[in-house]
């Protein structure tokens, strides 16, 4: 039996606070071979979805320690989760009594909605545009 409930289909990115994002990015570049893009200080990992002919990406991005982008969470990290239908996912979460934020972004990089998990971690739900951004650009 297949569920009609919207679901997450991938990890869009890991975003976290760092004392020195540039130095940390350089360490990951030099020691682990991350291809850190200087335009946003993070790395992009490309992959192929198995359930359709569509390329995807996962971002790894350090933010400044004083960023407010992860608010209202007090956690030093945020997960970006990929969804196919943001509106359906947010409606389902609201119906389940989850703490969905009024914050919403729609633009060239897709649609973004936000929810807090039961422990206060900010989850950024991302519905990528039909044609995902090219390498060297970031939806964050």
Q: List, run by run, the mean pLDDT of 10-residue segments along the chain (140 residues).
A: 77 96 95 93 89 83 96 96 96 96 94 96 94 50
Q: Which domains does the chain have, with CATH numbers?
A: 8-127 (3.10.180.10)
pLDDT of residue 133: 52
pLDDT of residue 56: 83
pLDDT of residue 25: 96
Q: What pTM did the predictor assign?
A: 0.84
Long-range own/partner contacts, residues 29-33 (CB < 8 A, 24 or more apart): none
């Amino acid at each position: 039996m297949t569920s009609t409930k919207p679901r997450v289909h991938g990890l869009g990115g890991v975003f976290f606070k760092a004392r020195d994002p540039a130095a940390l990015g350089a360490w990951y570049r030099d020691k682990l071979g991350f291809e850190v893009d200087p335009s946003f200080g993070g790395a992009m990992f490309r992959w192929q979805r198995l359930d359709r002919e569509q390329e995807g990406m996962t971002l790894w991005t350090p933010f400044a320690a004083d960023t407010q982008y992860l608010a209202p969470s007090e956690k030093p990290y945020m997960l970006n989760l990929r969804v196919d239908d943001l509106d359906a996912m947010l409606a389902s979460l609201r119906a389940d009594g989850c703490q969905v934020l009024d914050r919403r972004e729609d633009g060239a990089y897709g649609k973004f909605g936000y929810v807090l998990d039961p422990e206060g971690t900010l989850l950024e739900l991302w519905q990528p545009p039909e044609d995902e951004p090219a390498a060297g650009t970031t939806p964050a």
